[in-house]
Amino acid sequence: MHRRTLLGAAALLPFGARVVSAAPPAETITPALIEAARKEGKVSYYTAMDLSVAEPMAKAFEAKFPGIKVAVERTGAERLFNRLAQETASNIKRCDVVNSSDAAHFITWKREGWLQPYVTVDITENVAPEMRDPEGAFVNQRTHLSAMAYHIGLVKPGDAPKGFNDLLDPKYAGKLVKGHPGYSGTIMTATHQIARELGWGYFEKLAKQKVMQVQSATEPPKKLEAGERAVAVDGSDYLFWMGRERGVPIEVVYPVEGTPLISNPMAVFKAAPNPSAARLLFAWIMSGEGQEFIVNLSGQYPANLKVKAKAGRPPLSSIKTLREDPVEVEKTADEIKAKYARIFKV
Amino acid sequence: MPASSRSEAATADLPVRSSLQLDLSRPILIAVTALLVVMIALPMGWLIVYSLSDKQGTATLGNFVTLFTDPSFVDPLITTLIIAVSVSAICCIVAAPLGWLVARTDMPIRRIVRTLVMASLVTPPFVGAIAWEMLAAPNSGLLNQLWRSLTGMPSDEALFDIYSLTGLIFVIACYTFPYVFILVANALDRMPGELEDASSMLGAKTWQTARRITMPLALPTLLAGALVAFLQALNLFGSPAILAIPAGFHTLTTRIWSLFQFPPKPELAAAASLPLLLLTILLLRGQALALGRRGYAVLGGKYGEPRLVRLGAWRLPAAALALLVLAMPLFLPYAALFNSAFSRVASRLVTLDTITLHNVRFTFLELSSTMPALKNTFLLATLSATLGAVLALLIAYIVARRAVPGHRVLAFLATAPLAIPGIVLGVGLFLAYTRPPLTLYGTLWILLIAFITIELPAAYQQLSSAFHAVHPELEEAGRMLGASRLRTLADITAPLLRSAVIATWCFVFVAVIRELSAAVILFTSETKVLSVLIFDLKESGDVGAIAVLSLTMVGITTVVVAVANRFGGGREAGRLHARTAG
């Protein structure tokens, strides 16, 4: 696999560098595709995206293409990975389109031959080459960050942490909530990046802070909203923002050491029981309309360059992000899980 | 008539009868035995094989070495034992006095208290754990907020911390003590009044009688109850999964479950399951011994109704105490569930201004897993209840009437699953049915097998005690008039057992709806059931939807139980049982 050094912006992902590709020809949404999809009548979408975004997106698709029902199968990316492995091993064919917050999974799946190369014109024209697989097996659907955040009612802005190292201050003991890389792809990706930048010693110190351990990266924002803990060590940035826009008193923090960057690739499954509906859903999500829906609802950073980021959110280029390295994550995922479980005891 | 000669007579009859009246009892017996052997021996066999192999499939004891040396297994093992012992002790301390108050005193509202304790059993333990999270999470918990607003304590001071070992023990005890309570209260109901009368006639004071007569008589039952509680706590998966992980520790069941994370380690999971299995078998032996001794209290002719102890001035405090105990599994958790079902944020008390149907709308209109999960759950519960009741009825009949030689084996097989914890059975079935010839993983069948296996012992015990109350003469009359054994069973025995069968059906139905520990290992995305959906939603922290689904689940269960009671099922079975004992 080709590796590159990436700096900051989401536009640079090591999915493959050269655009010389054996990818299939780019397709568009044709009436024939819609008709074939309608005959299938349903499509299953495996994703790690929070339900508050995934289900409305599914409903928007159903409204646009009546007669096709979307079944959203949401769970943490690492559990999703496990579930797909078990289902495939048992010859259960259910997954049509898969979308995960752990980009490393797509390297494995592609190698196993589970992904159906499929490329649309929206992808070839409007998605940066670094964001897609040269053979067209997968493409980044959207990008988000694993940000920090605090509850304004529980932490005075002057006392707020500015970065990861601040969280080791004894005053935060018992006040932190954090996701788990054994369940969440966002946290897996983030854990790899933080361990690389700050060393595993950082987590050893953090574990002494009586951290409340939850599973998915979608849960720290909810624990913060409930006021259960004052500071979230990590979590999906878009959920912190969505809460804030709903009036929840929280403030998002982009750590001074850098914010973990999470791409969310998507692919059509080769064994898809509804191959046409799978392609239609995939193509729609990558279209301007699908991308706009995700951006307007959640403010995640779109992969489609024609779609503007959500107003009121900080532009991705203004945030110091850490380098995402799916190739390395793919190699070391088991080790990361084991180390993490040893340090945090769960 | 001895069993063998009678069955020989039955077989000898065969040629005389017309082919339409063929006695099917022998093929049925063989089929039932084979079915039970496959249901139990196959998963348990694979469990043992896996526990003794490494990843490549070569024989090794390495898994057990890991199990007893690696702290990531030893710690959960110790934690689990601490939990089981504590829960068992707490359950006895709470259930014994409460059972006595309800069964033997003139405490007001004692009937209501009794019904409500039983009703609290309808709550799946993992739903109870989620509700207690809403109540007693250190910062956002409603009770802690209340305490802070009353005392003016600062924001990070908490009265209760549910994310702790004590918190977990408390929550498990909340949903385990009803089992002990039912055992104790029923035993006290049946206890001979004469002994106590004699004691008081000889001049003993009320309390002396209670201490010297009632308590010793109830002690074996209490011991059995302690073991039941111990087993429940030992094998429970739901509550620890909800509370232990945020608290930063594992129990044995959650550790086994975590071994199914990628990359799955079924060998270790199998090895870690065996201590649970062995401990359960040992304790069940112990329980049989303890309950066996109870015999001397109940056998030996008719006894008078036990006399009620007059509490006098203590009547109201006793009732208040009973209500306080009931608040823990019932009033407080349900208040919390209703609150978060209709609130945007579970940690805030809902008011007329903030009440919202957002969660209800999301659960039923947006969440695409809701309807499939409801459908699967209903289908599985109905099928398991029907097939389970039929199977249990057949076995109970064969055993009770000693219809064929070898009936004892059937009785043993039907009760054996009692010794298999849900999560262990889940692991065993996963290993057995993810391979040919029966690749059932991913289908509803594997869940159906799991549920029937888990519920068979209870169903069998319920029906077998009912059978003992139907006199064989009635059936023999039918047989003499030329009806086949099956015909007799259908026309004579079954109607007499109607209420017991209905009760059993409902019992299995309810138990299946709340089953999580086997389902969480066996489900796939297509075969998700309600309990697993709630568990999945927990992972992403969607408590509003969880509250709505939990209330739906409990609502369904309550309706089924109510219907059962209307048919007189539960009470009838109890009465039959009492008659047998007398």
A72 to chain B, closest Cα gap in Å: 6
What SS3 state is found at B216? Answer: helix
Which CA distances in Å does B514 have to B19, B122, B173, B415, B520?
45, 8, 18, 21, 12
Are B139 and A154 an interchain contact pair (Cβ–Cβ within 8 Å)? yes
Task: Check if the beta carbon of residue B1 is closer than 8 Å to that of residue B403.
Answer: no
Mutation for testing the A interface, residue in B149, B258, B262, B520 having most A CBs under 10 Å:
B262
Which of chain A's residues have a Cβ under 8 Å away from the Cβ of B524? 83, 86-87, 90, 92, 94
Judge: domain B1-7+37-60+366-582, CATH 1.10.3720.10.
Answer: yes
- Decide if pLDDT at B493 tops 70: yes
Residue B349 has pLDDT above 80, yes or no: yes
For residue A179, the cross-strand partners are none
Residue of A nearest to B440 (CA): A90
Per-residue confidence (pLDDT) for residue B580, from 0 to 100: 27
**B343 to chain A, closest Cα gap in Å:** 11
B26/chain A closest Cα distance in angstroms:
37
Phi-psi region of A313 (alpha: psi -120 to 50; beta: other; left: phi over 0): beta
Nearest CA in chain B to A229: B139
CB contact under 8 A, A228 and B137: yes
Q: How far is A4 from chain B (nearest CA, A)?
A: 28
**What domains lie within chain A, and their CATH numbers?**
31-144+263-315 (3.40.190.10), 145-260+327-344 (3.40.190.10)
- Which residues of B fall below an 8 Å CB-CB distance to A? 72, 75, 137-140, 155-156, 163, 244-246, 248-250, 258, 260-264, 345-347, 362, 366-369, 372, 434, 439, 441-442, 524-526, 536-537, 539-543, 545
Burial classification of residue A330, based on how many CB atoms lie within 10 Å of its CB (0-12 exposed, 13-18 middle, 19 or more buried): middle
Per-residue pLDDT tens digits for B39-67: 888 999 999 999 999 988 889 999 999 99
3-state DSSP helix/strand/coil % of chain B, to nearest 5:
75, 0, 25
Round to the nearest angstrom and report the end-to-end CA distance of chain B: 24
Q: How far is B233 from chain A (nearest CA, A)?
A: 20
- Multiple choice CATH, B71-356, 3.40.50.300, 1.10.3720.10, 1.10.8.50, 2.40.10.10: 1.10.3720.10
Low-confidence ranges of chain A (pLDDT < 50): 1-14, 16-19
Measured CA to CA, the distance from residue B512 to residue B376 in angstroms comes to: 11
CA distance A320 to chain B (A): 27
Structure confidence at residue B294 (pLDDT): 46
B197-211, B318-332, B534-548: range with lowest mean pLDDT: B197-211
Q: Which residue among A50, A58, A89 sits closest to B368, beta carbon to beta carbon?
A: A58
* B531 closest CA partner among B358, B327, B384, B381: B381
What's the confidence (pLDDT) of residue A8? 38
User: Is the CB of A222 less than 8 angstroms away from the CB of B260?
Assistant: no
Of B244, B526, B541, the CB nearest to A218: B541
Work out the mean pLDDT of chain B and round it to a whole number: 85
Work out the pLDDT band at B287, boundaries 50, 70, 90. Answer: confident
A83 CB neighbours in chain B (<8 A) are 524-525
Round to whole Å and give the CA distance between B161 and B168: 10
Inter-chain residue contact A227 with B434, CB threshold 8 Å: no
Query: Is the interface score ipTM higher than 0.85?
Result: yes
Give the chain A residue whose CA is nearest to the CA of B344: A226
Position A21 scores a pLDDT of 55
When scoring B142, B434, B525 by the number of chain A Cβ atoms within 10 A, the one with the most, hence best to mutate, is B525
- Considering only CB atoms, B540 lies closest to which of A58, A74, A345, namely A74
- Whether residues A223 and B262 touch (CB distance < 8 A) is answered with no
**Residue A239: its pLDDT value, please?**
97
Residue of A nearest to B442 (CA): A92
Q: What is the pLDDT of residue B582?
A: 24
Cis check for the bond before B437: say yes or no (omega within 30 of 0). Answer: yes
Measured between alpha carbons, how far is A203 from A14 in angstroms, rounded to an integer? 26
Q: How far is B333 from chain A (nearest CA, A)?
A: 17
The sign one gets for the Cα dihedral B67, B72, B78, B81 is negative
pLDDT for residue B23? 64
- Say how many C-beta atoms besides its own lie within 10 A of residue B521's C-beta: 24
pLDDT for residue B577 is more than 90: no
Residue B291: predicted pLDDT: 67
* Residue A277 and residue A35 in contact, taking contact as beta carbons nearer than 8 Å: no
H-helix segments, chain A: 31-40, 51-64, 77-89, 104-112, 121-126, 185-198, 200-207, 219-226, 237-245, 275-286, 288-298, 326-344
Per DSSP, the three-state class of A141 is strand
Interface contact flag, B441 A226, Cβ < 8 Å? no
**Inter-chain residue contact A86 with B524, CB threshold 8 Å:** yes
| pLDDT reported for residue A11 | 42
Paired with A43 in beta bridges are A70
Residue A142's pLDDT is what? Answer: 97
A55: distance to nearest CA of chain B, Å?
6
Contacts of A214 in chain B (CB under 8 A): 245-246, 541
Indicate the residue type of A90: S
B39, B45 in Cβ contact below 8 A?
no
In angstroms, what is the C-alpha Rg of chain A?
20
**A104-108 CB contacts, 8 Å cutoff, 24+ apart:** A104/A188, A104/A189, A104/A326, A104/A327, A104/A329, A104/A330, A104/A333, A105/A77, A105/A81, A105/A185, A105/A330, A106/A133, A106/A137, A106/A138, A106/A265, A106/A267, A106/A326, A107/A1, A107/A326, A107/A327, A107/A330, A108/A81, A108/A330
Q: Do A72 and B369 touch (CB under 8 A)?
A: yes
Q: Do B541 and A346 touch (CB under 8 A)?
A: no
Interacting residues of B285 by C-beta distance below 8 A, sequence separation 6+: none
- pLDDT at B76 (0 to 100): 95
pLDDT recorded at residue A4: 39
Q: Rounded to 5 degrees, what angle do the CA atoms A153, A155, A160 make?
A: 140
- Minimum distance, in Å, between the CA of residue A170 and any CA atom of chain B: 14
Considering chain A, what percentage of its residues have pLDDT values greater than 90?
90
Report the percent of chain B where pLDDT is more than 90.
49
pLDDT over 70 for what percent of chain B? Answer: 90
Tell me if residue A231 falls in helix, strand or coil. strand
**For residue A142, what are its two tokens?**
């959207």
Domain boundaries, chain B: 1-7+37-60+366-582, 71-356
Chain A to chain B Cβ contacts (< 8 Å):
141
A55, A75, A230: residue with CB nearest B366: A55
What's phi and psi for A193, nearest 5 deg? -70, -40
- The residue among B566 and B505 whose pLDDT is bigger is B505
Which member of B156, B264, B345 has the closest CB to residue A175? B156
Cα-based angle B395, B453, B499 (whole degrees, multiple of 5) = 50
Higher per-residue confidence, B7 vs A141: A141
Contacts of B155 in chain A (CB under 8 A): 153-154
Contacts of A76 in chain B (CB under 8 A): 539-540
Cis omega (within 30 of 0) for bond into B138: no
What is the four-CA torsion angle of B331, B332, B337, B343, rounded to 10 degrees?
120
- Closest-CA residue in chain A for B144? A228
Per DSSP, helices labelled H in B348-402 are 358-361, 370-400
On chain A, the residues whose CB falls within 8 A of the CB of B137 are 226, 228
Mean pLDDT for the stretch of residues B445-458: 94
pLDDT band at B175 (very low <50, low <70, confident <90, very high): very high
Mark yes or no for CB contact B249/A346 under 8 Å: yes
> What are the tens digits of pLDDT across the range B84-120?
999 999 999 999 999 999 998 899 999 999 999 988 8
Could A90 and B248 be called an inter-chain contact, meaning their C-beta atoms sit closer than 8 Å?
no
Q: Please list every residue in chain B whose beta carbon sits closer than 8 Å to the beta carbon of residue A346.
A: 244-245, 248-250
Query: What is the band of B403 on the pLDDT scale with cuts at 50, 70, 90?
Result: low
Does the distance separating the beta carbons of A182 and B139 come in below 8 Å? no
**Are B442 and A58 in contact (CB < 8 Å)?**
no
What is the C-alpha separation between B116 and B123, in angstroms, rounded? 12
Least confident piece of the model among A51-65, B271-285, B472-486: B472-486
Q: How does residue B437 score in pLDDT terms, banded at 50, 70 and 90?
A: confident
- Whole-number Å distance between alpha carbons of B160 and B174: 15
Predicted local distance difference test score (pLDDT) of residue B426: 93
* Cα gap B251→B77, rounded to integer Å: 7
